[in-house]
Amino acid sequence: MIKLPKEGEKNMINIEKAKQEFKNFTKNYDITNDRIKVKIDHTYKVSKNSKEIAKSLNLSEEEIKLAELIGLLHDIGRFEQIKNYNTYLDKKSINHATKALSILFTEGKIRNYIEENKYDNIIYKAIENHNKIKINDNLTKKEQLFCKIIRDADKLDIYRIVTTKKIENAVSIKTEDISKEILSDKIYNNFLKEEPILYQDIKTNIDNMVIWIAYIYDINFKETFNKIKQENYIEKIVKRVNFKDQKTKERMEEIKEKANKYINQKTK
């Protein structure tokens, strides 16, 4: 049951006004650029995912709107990144989360989206941590909660993107034929051990695909696991490539089976 505000308590978050402000913000960028269009669509999808996850946790109406707002703002640094560097790769440009914090809190644009500063710390910490390998220590329980919501919501839409756009556009390394690539031993072993996989360890696009699958180890809520299962994202990722290397083909099947078993356990 969603908790409603107490009598006399006003909602501080006008989500429709925030969405209009975001729409105005994106008018400053070239919406004919496919990368810009993808990020606008991604933003709205993550905001919706955040709302649905928050609802599944029986949060208050105000907290649900806060989750939705964080989803709307989490990638606001991407647009300057794409405009100036034409890439999504932080390692080749800027940390897009840091850029978002600069726009919102250094430049003061956060007040365009929410008038009161009551939730500033939560919004700041959630955006700061949404793209880290792990959430920072020493956060309050409330900050941890919203960090986890945005991380789940973000990964959920990344699954949608990497299973629907052309595989050549989804992977990070340009190559003539992805199907001839092999899976690196380190990436394979880390996945089986459920250990973190670092982007700097990527050697092939197949490694990159396993990182997508490994997102399951950083998912926090049953609602998210249910959506991953319903959309059959793991199967869709593995089926994207007709692996020519037999060893890689066998390993990817093993990874798929382990991932689906893990998801089934989390959805019981």
pLDDT per position in the chain (268 positions), as tens? 444 444 444 578 999 999 999 999 999 999 999 999 999 999 999 999 999 999 999 999 999 999 999 999 999 999 999 999 998 888 889 999 999 999 999 999 999 999 999 999 999 999 999 999 999 999 999 999 999 999 999 999 999 999 998 877 677 667 778 999 999 999 999 999 998 888 889 999 999 999 999 999 999 999 999 999 999 999 999 999 999 999 999 999 999 999 999 999 999 8
Long-range contacts, stretch 164-169, CB < 8 angstroms, 24+ apart: 165/38, 167/240, 167/241
Give me the pLDDT at residue 172, please.
67
The pLDDT value recorded for residue 173 is 65
Same structural domain, 52 and 152: yes
Distance of alpha carbon 20 from alpha carbon 59, whole angstroms = 24
Domain span including residue 233: 178-266
User: What pLDDT is stored for residue 170 in this prediction?
Assistant: 72
183 plus 158 within the same structural domain:
no
As a whole number of Å, the end-to-end CA separation of the chain is 21
pLDDT at 198: 84
Give me 7's structure tokens: 């009598």
Question: In this structure, are 110 and 191 located in the same domain?
Answer: no
* Count of beta carbons in the 10 Å neighbourhood of residue 95: 16
Give the integer Cα–Cα distance in Å for 55 and 196.
29
**Predicted structure pTM score:** 0.93
Whether residues 157 and 183 fall in one domain:
no
User: What pLDDT is recorded for position 7?
Assistant: 44
What span, in angstroms and rounded, lies between the C-alpha atoms of 38 and 90? 17
Residue 171 falls within a domain, yes or no? no
* β partners of residue 3: 60
Whether residue 139 is found in the same domain as residue 74: yes
Query: What was the pLDDT predicted at 146?
Result: 98
User: For residues 50 and 65, what is the distance between their CA atoms, to the nearest angstrom?
Assistant: 9
Tell me which amino acid residue 57 is.
L
**Among residues 101, 136, 162, which one ends one of the domains?**
162
